[in-house]
Amino acid sequence: MAGYDELLFAPLGGVGEIGMNLSIYGFGSRQRRQWLVVDCGVSFASEEHLPGVDLILPDIRFLIEERKNIAGLVITHGHEDHIGALIDLWPRLKVPVYATPFTAALFEAKRLSEPGAPEIPINVVPIRGRLTLGPFAIDFINVAHSTPESNALAIRTPAGIVLHTGDWKIDPTPLLGAPTDAAKLSALGDEGVLALIGDSTNAVREGHSPSESDVAKTLAELIRTAPARVAVTTFASHVGRLRAVADAARAADREVVLVGRAMERVAQVAREIGYLDGVQDFRSAEAYGYLPPDKVLALCTGSQGEPRAALSRIARDEHPEVTLSRGDRVIFSSRAIPGNEKAVGEVINGLITQGIEVITDRTHLVHVSGHPRREELRQMIGWVRPQILIPAHGEALHLNEHAELARRAGVPQVLVCRNGDLVRLAPGKAAIVDEIPSGRLYKDGSLLVNAESRTIGARRRLSFAGIVSVALALDDKGAFAADPEVELVGLPETDATGVSMADIARDAVEDAFESMPKPRRRDPDAVAEAVRRAVRGAIAQRWNKKPICHVHVLTV
């Protein structure tokens, strides 16, 4: 039987979680199918959860298998959760990549800053451009978001049109770029949209997001009334916000000093492309010390409490050029990404302890999210009028809320899926028809390790309860040839009564050994196991925690 053509969708990341967005669309028969990849992002790991892991990436086993059938990889916008995995994963795919000018330039600047990063050619698509890749004709539609050149993708196929919203919001007065292209989206709706795959990040928030212009007004007021130095931190990629801060600084007769490499990098790219036209020149951090307190504003990285970023170093008084003191004002024009709250709280508390005033979005409109709230989601559905809606870009709660909203708004088919689900969009009713390999990879130093490997779990156990190493030398009669050696790492030195943990472990080794029947003592494996159990048990009795225990038995 000759296969019939199907239109398929599958998320390999970003659905059921926030971060590491990677979606694929397939068109064709089972025998002849082509794939379009949309975005290739990362998630950030929390140190407690995944010690030593810098980044989390989607597992692309499936795409590596299908490499020859991939028509292209399109990036919707330059945020790390959409492009951050490209440097590590592209060499395994080597497929053509497409992005708009700012996204491409920002990526290139980042790539050049990473030692040893491979060369990755990016095909630049003009703003509002169109691209044909195999059976997919893709229109880039302008949407407002929190970085320049965010795009929704209208993907035309012989089986119908899919709107992949990417990250978006409705903002009639964004500070940078055009508002979300309502006319284009309505026209698409008139034409008939089969499926909408949409951003669910803020699906739990009622109403409509405030505008970037309102944020700019608040920032201007706070910067104008600041009595001494001002530092503002925000996401470096939020060029509209950088503009708002710079304009507010100029109105208050302050010079802007950029602090932090990511901030410098984004500002340079934005300047080259023209997104900072008319904005005063920025000064480098060296200028900071020469400017009077009421004539300077430091625009810093570190809004997420990253310990090595500018603001954290300033808060710890470890920055070589930039210092703050009592009476200065720090504005967090940002919100902590889930998982970073503790780190951000530490920076804020550190600043307040020094008498520095800290302003956050809890009390002032100094930040708005770049994602649509419920009224905006309804508006999008109204424009596009899809037959099928699949919530994406969100955790389970966000996906469900988005789905419920879509059902109430009258979308005929609403389908909630998860990473790895293969969804058939056409022909017939939309349905999950298969599961494809998916998962996570961890960037651990310079290596990518599979999330299922035991490495990181072992590291977490080590950090929780430490390790005891025991070395035993046995002679051929099954007696100790030397005193056992015991080494403890990461354990308390003594128990509650002051007895040394090392002595407790050593006694446990000897007791365990002596209580073994003599013939068994000649079996190194049996000795190792008995000793291991005894040491863990003895320590658990005093500590209520069980360390990892390694026993090495040498026979001499």
List of residues contacting Zn ion (CB under 5 A): 79, 81, 167
Closest to Zn ion by CB, 12 vs 231, is 12
**Minimum distance of Zn ion from residue 265's CB (angstroms):** 18
Closest to Zn ion by CB, 157 vs 209, is 209
**Residue 384 tokens, joined:** 């596009």
Determine contact, residues 381/407, Cβ cutoff 8 Å: no
**Cis-peptide, bond into residue 427, ω within 30° of zero:** yes
Q: Residue 315: which of 339, 345, 360 has the closest Cα?
A: 345
| Amino acid identity, position 80 | E
Closest to Zn ion by CB, 418 vs 546, is 418
Q: Residue 196: which of 389, 9, 379, 14 has the closest Cα?
A: 389
Closest to Zn ion by CB, 81 vs 139, is 81
**Minimum distance of Zn ion from residue 440's CB (angstroms):** 17
**Residue 417 tokens, joined:** 């899926």
Cβ neighbors of 461 (< 8 A, separation 6 or more) are 548
Cβ neighbors of 512 (< 8 A, separation 6 or more) are 530, 531, 533, 534, 535
Give the distance from CA 309 to its chain's centroid: 16
Q: State the residue for tokens 């008319």.
A: 278
Torsion of CA 208, 209, 215, 218, to 10 degrees: 50
Determine contact, residues 131/160, Cβ cutoff 8 Å: no
**Minimum distance of Zn ion from residue 168's CB (angstroms):** 9
Closest to Zn ion by CB, 167 vs 357, is 167
**Minimum distance of Zn ion from residue 275's CB (angstroms):** 16
**Minimum distance of Zn ion from residue 77's CB (angstroms):** 6
- Rounded to whole angstroms, the Cα distance separating 219 from 366 reads 6
**Across-strand partners of 58?**
440
Largest CA distance in the chain: 89
Q: Residue 8: which of 20, 413, 28, 16 has the closest Cα?
A: 28
**Minimum distance of Zn ion from residue 116's CB (angstroms):** 27
Cβ neighbors of 137 (< 8 A, separation 6 or more) are 130, 131, 155, 156, 157
**Minimum distance of Zn ion from residue 338's CB (angstroms):** 13
> Which 3 state secondary structure label does DSSP give 128?
coil
Beta carbons within 10 angstroms of residue 445's beta carbon: 9
**Residue 204 tokens, joined:** 């739990």
Closest to Zn ion by CB, 18 vs 259, is 18
Closest to Zn ion by CB, 79 vs 329, is 79
Closest to Zn ion by CB, 178 vs 489, is 178
- Rounded to whole angstroms, the Cα distance separating 524 from 530 reads 10
**How many CA atoms are closer than 13 Å to the CA of 83, on its beta-carbon side?**
26
Closest to Zn ion by CB, 13 vs 189, is 13
Closest to Zn ion by CB, 12 vs 297, is 12
Closest to Zn ion by CB, 81 vs 181, is 81
**Minimum distance of Zn ion from residue 14's CB (angstroms):** 7
**Minimum distance of Zn ion from residue 554's CB (angstroms):** 55
**Minimum distance of Zn ion from residue 167's CB (angstroms):** 3
- Rounded to whole angstroms, the Cα distance separating 283 from 293 reads 15
**Minimum distance of Zn ion from residue 389's CB (angstroms):** 18
Closest to Zn ion by CB, 7 vs 197, is 197
Beta carbons within 10 angstroms of residue 555's beta carbon: 13
**Minimum distance of Zn ion from residue 484's CB (angstroms):** 55
**How many CA atoms are closer than 13 Å to the CA of 216, on its beta-carbon side?**
19
- Rounded to whole angstroms, the Cα distance separating 34 from 136 reads 9
